[in-house]
Structure 1
Amino acid sequence: MMNKLKIERRTSNTSNTLINNNRAEITDVLIAGAGISGLVAGLCLHRAGFSVRIHERAQKLEETGFGVNLQPYCVKLLYELGLESEMNEAGICNNKAVFYSSHGQFVYQDPRGLDAGYKWPMYSLHRGRFQQLLLRHVHEEMGAEVVRLGQKLVTFRLQPHHVEVDFMNSITGDIDTERAKVLLAADGINSTVRKILYPDEGPPLWQGITMWRGVTRMDKLYLDGRTMIFAGNPDDRQLIVYPVSEQLVNWAFTVRIQEPGVRPAPVATDWHHLGHIEDVLPLLWNIKLDFLDIDNLVNSSIIVNQFHVTDRNPLPRWTYDRVTLIGDAAHPMSPYGGNGASQAIIDARDLLLAFRTHGITPTGLEKYDQLRRTVSQSYILAAREFGPEKILKIVAERSPFGFQNLSEVISSEEIDETFSVYRKQVNWNAEKLNQEPALF
């Protein structure tokens, strides 16, 4: 952990680097990163009356990426921010997740969203489209000048009453210094701020599984057009399919390529690394679904990416004085269970709750840390155990060649108990959520 209050400035190696150190204005909250967590945090804090600036290292925010799932517990907040109608236009309200063996044999159907008793649906939508939706609201409500692109965080220095943050212009290499009461690091799994706070942590962690992801256009969606599909064994080979719009389907295929066990990732985590269809198809031969042409689904993909499934160990602390971590910078988790983006959104809610009580102060950040860190840890660990998809691992290990009767492999009571344990582990509780007061 960083043990010095003052961090030395890092500057460009370019000899003509310009350092702008004359900004007198002190913003309430400075956010590093314009991903989902940074944009939602910005909207929440602005709505509460705080001044916010957002700096993003990318020079342009394009509508790229794949599917993202938003659980009811975060959709509640998004509705309170006034996003309901646009989310309905942008995504799909999936109402169930259905689990199949690799042989296409039905195992379990798990209701989601409204069908699970929540007052709010579960959404699946294109990540890039969702980010653009959030960015549009930031521009409309806060002003286009609030988000500055092409600004890479280099370092920060803690002062008695504020934090100074150096950003490098990605084109010129010039350094610009911003001042704020607090810094929120929403800079992702490869967070610069996290690396400053924990210089010995090393790269993200890997459990020996690689993933291909794709998006395919379909004139007619499979089944009822509102169903998530999980088929196979998450500890070996598994296919995940779900619609993200009325004509787009997201698919993900995971394959174990090394033995189980947590180890440093052999390459940097890059979710934009291009994959190849010809590498995927030979691996899919043993997964069958009567209602879906899997080969055509993959062959027709608009784009395919490939990357290792990674996360990081939970930290003993996110907050250091006037600096804290949010989103994937704080709690990157593997995709099993589909909670990563939803947890990033809940970070924004609890930040605001802490600030309302303690102000924009180090004490407020410490309270946020207490509210979120232990809770998010349970999601990280649950995802390492494959989340609700663990049921398919159990079935595959007991019946590798399929089954005549599911009850001979696993009882309905054991299935129900497996899902019940997971729901408790990640606090999926419709009755409790339905009674929570609105944030705004």
Structure 2
Amino acid sequence: MNALTRKGSPGPAGIARIGVLGGGIAGLTMAVALRNAGLDCVVFEQAPRVETAGLGLQITPNASRLLARLGVGEAVDAVATQPLSIDVHRWDDGHRLARTPLGEACVETFGAPYYTVHRADLQQLLLRVLPTDTVRLGRRCVAVRCASDSVTAVFADGAEATFDVLVGADGIGSVARRALADDVRRFSGQVAYRGLVPADALPEWQGEPRVRGWFGPAQHCVCYPVSGGRFISLTAMTPDATVSVSEDSPAAQWNAPAGPAEDGAAPAASLARAAAEAYDGWDPLVRKLLQSAAALSLWRLNDRDPLPRWSRSRLTLIGDAAHPMLPFRAQGANQAIEDAVVLTDCLRQADDVQTALCRYEELRLTRTTRIQLSSRESAEVFHLGDGDLQLERDRDMPERWALRNNEWLFGYRAESAALA
């Protein structure tokens, strides 16, 4: 009998037990995909409550088509925005360097929309389609034990839970990852000021939903509408020369690929002043964005080096636990959604767990590694200093940022990968 038995299947094996560590976008998408495939799972989230905070995400066609396949496409469409384009501007005078058309052009080219959405809105709609007992809150996993025929999660309160398959969707600080690799997180040298700006603070953008970015020496800024256009999500990256603590030191807090620096505890006024100083001399619209944010948080931008494998015995990884990446290609959440769909298809089709997990790695490792490394390289291109190299980049931008050049990224069909 198949090692992963569908709901209602006869036989002594019953329904396979699948556990998911982490209740973020990766873990919740995994749970929805498994449920749609007729496979039971339970999700363990360390937070005591479902978070409603957060900022924006860009959901690109390679992931939005998967959300539609999972049955939440209409719900996403109701809370998200479809931007008309990605506009890239020069840092000081705001001159537009390139425009990538999105909207209907994106749907026509890739068969799916490009969305900007508030992270909490996406998380909530994924939760709503799951049975109420799927997600267990306040359950912090502190260790994972692998055996040949099972895998066990050990929790902070001493409780244990044993599964036929355990999926680590627990972020860059993944406990599950420790069972596979003894690696460390890597600080990029960049921090990000992030915040939400009321859309009516920039009336000149009303009716013009776009992803807007400004590229300048050593740093850049990006913004886009979320929450149905009521707010603008802002991220302003800048170098941080003050960080000297090791990434894995107890003095540092590293809870996500872009984790809050020092628990995000810096006073709001001091963050606003620091952001204004970092962007002194930039396009007035950038400074207006920073000044209009109700509050800013400061995040360190981290990733890890790609792993050669994600699985051991009956344990595997998805999302930031598997391939934490810098945000410069806006693919972190999108790749987690791809992971969840491909892993579910592999589990559904295989005759045994090990075959399923090996197949999943084969299908995902090359692609996510390419995106991880491309995200690092993008920082160098975005942050060129004034001079000949920057002028050459700017001249090439209209061609490089053409929509068709995103075929490898946006046109990828994860829903067909396991069928090949």
Q: TM bucket by the smaller chain? A: 0.7 to 0.9
Partner of 2:235: 252
1:183 counterpart = 2:175 = no
SS of alignment partner, residue 164 of structure 2: strand
Match of 2:221 in 1: 239
1:74 partner SS: helix
Partner secondary structure for residue 326 of structure 2: coil
Q: Give me the identity figure in percent.
A: 27
Counterpart of 1:161 (choices 144, 149, 162) is 149
- The aligned runs of 1:344-383 (5 Å cut-off) are 344-359=336-351, 361-383=353-375
Q: Following superposition of structure 1 onto structure 2, how do residues 153-302 of structure 1 map, counting pairs within 5 Å?
A: 153-168=141-156, 174-199=157-182, 201-202=183-184, 204-219=185-200, 220=203, 222=205, 224-233=207-216, 236-245=218-227, 246-258=229-241, 264=247, 267-270=252-255, 271-272=259-260, 273-275=264-266, 276-289=271-284, 292=285, 294-302=286-294
- Give 1:288's aligned amino acid: D
Superposed CA offset, 1:90-111 (max 9, x none): 1111131111111211111112
**Which residues in structure 2 correspond to 1:320-331 (within 5 Å)?**
320-331=312-323
For the structure 1 residues 217 and 352, does the alpha-carbon distance in structure 2 shift closer, same or farther, using more than 3 Å as the test? same
- Write the distance in 1 (CA, Å) between the matches of 2:32 and 2:119: 18
For 2:345 and 2:19, locate their aligned partners in 1 and report how far apart those are by CA, in whole Å.
17
The whole-number CA distance in structure 2 between the counterparts of 1:374 and 1:55 is 29
Q: Check conservation: 1:97, 1:229, Cα contact below 8 A.
A: yes
TM-score by length of 1: 0.80
Whether the 8 Å contact between 2:56 and 2:226 is mirrored in structure 1 is: yes
Q: Quickly say closer, same or farther: Cα 1:217–1:240, change in 2 above 3 A.
A: same
Structure 1 unmatched runs, 5+: 1-23, 169-173, 401-407
> Residue by residue, what CA displacement relative to the aligned partner does 1:194-221 show, whole Å, maximum 9, x if unpaired?
123223x12x112211111011112247
Question: Which of 310, 313, 316 is the matching residue for 1:318?
Answer: 310
CA distance in 2, matches of 1:115, 1:315: 36
CA deviations over 1:244-265 (Å, ceiling 9, x no partner): 1321001111112349xxx957
CA distance in 2, matches of 1:360, 1:42: 20
Q: 1:89 aligns with which of 78, 89, 114?
A: 78
Q: Is the 8 A contact 1:96 1:228 kept in 2?
A: yes
What's the counterpart of residue 132 of structure 2? 144
Deviations 1:216-251 (A, max 9, x none): 112247164321111132x61211111113210011
One-letter identity of the residue aligned with 2:238: V
- Give yes or no for the alignment of 1:428 onto 2:400: no
Looking at structure 1, the residues matched to 294 and 59 of structure 2 have their Cα atoms a distance apart, in angstroms, of: 23
Task: Give me the whole-angstrom Cα distance separating, in 2, the residues matched to 1:433 and 1:196.
Answer: 30
Cα distance between partner residues in 2 of 1:421 and 1:318: 32
TM-score (norm. length: structure 2): 0.83
Query: Which residue does the alignment assign to 2:102?
Result: 112
Which residue of 59, 64, 67 maps to 2:53?
64
Displacement of 1:307:
1.7
Provide, for residues 137-182 of structure 1, a one-character-per-residue CA deviation record: whole Å limited to 9, x for no partner: 22xxxx21111011011223233322222222xxxxx322212111
Q: Which residue of 1 aligns with 2:332?
A: 340
Deviation of 1:298 (Å): 2.0
How far residue 347 of structure 1 moved from its aligned partner, in angstroms, is 0.2
What is the CA-CA distance between 1:350 and the residue it aligns to?
0.9
TM alignment of 1:129-140, pairs within 5 A: 129-138=121-130
Aligned with 1:88: secondary structure?
Answer: helix
SS at match of 2:65: helix
| Separation in 2, partners of 1:70, 1:397 | 34
Contact 2:98 2:398 in 1 (8 A): no
- Whole-Å separation in 2 of the counterparts to 1:421 and 1:379: 17
Q: Is the 8 A contact 1:124 1:242 kept in 2?
A: yes
Of 8, 14, 17, 1:28 maps to 17
Superposed CA offset, 1:343-382 (max 9, x none): 0000011102211321461221111111111110001101
Secondary structure of the residue that 1:165 maps to in structure 2?
strand
Q: Is the 8 A contact 1:27 1:179 kept in 2?
A: no
**Maintained 8 Å contact 2:345/2:418:** no
Report deviation, 1:295.
3.4
Greater percentage in helix: 2
Q: Which amino acid aligns with 2:171?
A: G
Partner of 1:398: 388
Deviation of the 1:396 alpha carbon: 3.7
Whole-angstrom distance in 2 between the partners of 1:123 and 1:421: 15
Cα-to-partner distance string for 1:101-126 (whole Å, 9 max, x where unaligned): 11211111112354232221111111
Distance change in 2, residues 1:329/1:198 (3 Å):
same
How much is the aligned-residue C-alpha RMSD, in angstroms? 3.0
Q: Which amino acid aligns with 2:290?
A: V
Q: Counterparts of 2:141 and 2:333 in 1: how far apart (Å)? A: 22
- SS of the counterpart of 1:251? strand
Deviates more, 1:176-185 or 1:263-272: 263-272
Structure 1 residue 433, shift from structure 2 partner: 4.7
Q: Distance in 1 between matches of 2:113 and 2:371?
A: 20
Q: Distance in 1 between matches of 2:410 and 2:194?
A: 30
Relative to 1, partners in 2 of residues 1:365 and 1:332: Cα closer, same or farther, differing over 3 Å? same
Summarize the Cα distance change of 1:422–1:372 in structure 2 as closer, same or farther, 3 Å threshold. Answer: farther
